[in-house]
Amino acid sequence: MQVRPKKKRSILPYLLVSPYMLFFLVFVAFPVLFSFFLTFHKWNIISPMEYSGMDNYTRMFNDRLFWKSLRNTLWFLVIHIPLQIIFALGLAVFLNSKIKFKGLFRSVFFLPVIVSGVVVTIMWQQLYGFNGGVINQLLNSIGLGRVGWLTNPAMSMPSIAIMATWKNVGLYIILFLVGLQAVPEHYYEAAEIDGASSWQKLWYITIPAINPTIFMVIILSTIGGFSLFIEPYVMTGGGPLNSSLSSVLYIYKQAFEFYHMGYAATLGFAFAFIILIIIVIQKKYIEKKY
């Protein structure tokens, strides 16, 4: 039932969505096209732009650091996603049981989520210190020996992944809790009557019920992994041996340390393409499984 006069109907909605259209044209459509155009050029903004054909692409395929940063990001995801799911789910199950101070625990776990990543990074950089860091002091005092958290090329990405898990776990605990509370109590009661163990209950009732949440954690962590920037920028500068060079940090370096705008745009395209492919694969795989 439309009460409005006809004339008004034709213009008004367009006025309402016009801010969005303007935004879309200036900050989405134009940049995507311009970025594509840039990938065929060599440009540092202050000098004239030079056409360079496929140079940026051939360079990228031969660029050791491009592949390295991609491998680093995937390595981060391989460590971070399982850690994130295990800790978030474990703590959510714990908070879902009948314990005291539930609210207090929840607020404490949530604290790192709201604090700026810069603060978290500056803090952990010092905790991770090889010689004077608190974590190594602790490990040493219980006789385990020190770990080169940020100085060992094999450890720098895992260290960042642990920190990222610590920072985000509070959010995923909440999401899992919402999922857990939606599981009807009588499922568990029925399982108990059938003599199911706690593990069986977790595996056959809980996990399928919260599968959409798990999927979301995976997607969000993937996007987060490809957005890693401030953590390596502050903690390691991408080192040691480029082992913590993340994809965004590499784009940043090419663009704002060397002003290779064309090449940076090419990297941006490549990484965006890779992210979309990974997400499509994740979606297919997980939807098929359940």
Partner 1 sequence: MNIRNLKPIFNYFFAITLLLSCNGHEQKEKTITFWSSNASQEILFTAYFADKWNENHSEKLESQPIPEGQSSEEVIMAAVVGRTTPDIYANMWQGLVEMYAKSGVLVPLDTIEGFTDFIMARSGEAVVKEITSADGHIYQIPWKINPFMTIYNEKKIAQLGLDVVPTTYSAYLKAGKDFSKDTDGDGYVDKWIGDTEVKNIWHQRLNNFYPLYLAASNGAPLIKDNKAVFNNEYAVGVFNFLQTIYREGYFAKESNTVGSDKFLAGHTATKWTGAWDVSYLERYKEDDFEYNIAHLPVPDDHRGVVYTYADPKNIVLFNTCKNPALAWEFIKTMIDEAGDLKFLELSGQIPRRQKIKENEVFQVFLRENPKIIPFIDQSNYVYGTDNCEVLIEVLDIISQEYESCVIHNKKTPAKAIADASRAVDILLGNF
Partner 2 sequence: MAITFLYPFFWMIMASLTPEKLIGSLTFIPDSFTFNNYLAMFGKIPIGRALLNSMFVSSVITLGVILIGAMVGYALAKTRFMGRNFIFYLIIFTMTLPFQITLIPNYITIVKLGWVDQYTALIIPFLVNNFAILMFRQSFMSVPQALIDAARIDGCSELRIIFQVLFPSIIPTIVTVGILTFMTTWNEVLWPLIVVRDEMVMTMPQLVTLFSVGGRADAQLGVKLASAVLLALPIMIAYSFFQKYFIQSMASSGIK
Which residues would be at the binding site for partner 1 (CB under 8 A)? 44-47, 125-126, 128-133, 140, 145-146, 148, 150-151, 153, 236-242, 256-259
Least distance from partner 2 to the Cβ atom of residue 272, Å: 4
Q: How far is the CB of 169 from partner 2 (least distance, A)?
A: 9
Sign of CA dihedral 223, 224, 225, 231: positive
Q: Which two tokens stand for residue 283?
A: 């979606």
DSSP state of 41: E
61 binds partner 2 (CB under 8 A): no
23 φ, ψ (degrees, to nearest 5)? -60, -45
Among partner 2, partner 1, none, the one that 218 touches (CB under a kind-dependent 5 to 8 A) is none
Closer residue to partner 1 in complex, CB, 11/45:
45
Neighbouring-strand partners of residue 138: none
Query: Which of 47, 99, 100, 132 forms a contact with partner 2 (CB under 8 A)?
Result: 132
63 and 251 in contact (C-beta within 8 Å)? Answer: no
CA–CA dist 55, 247 (Å, integer): 20
Q: Are 213 and 179 in contact (CB under 8 A)?
A: yes
Is 91 a residue that touches partner 2 (CB under 8 A)?
Answer: yes
Nearer CB in complex with partner 1: 94/258: 258
76 near partner 2 (CB under 8 A): no
Tell me the C-alpha distance between 264 and 261, whole Å.
5
Distance in Å, CB of 217 to partner 2, minimum: 9
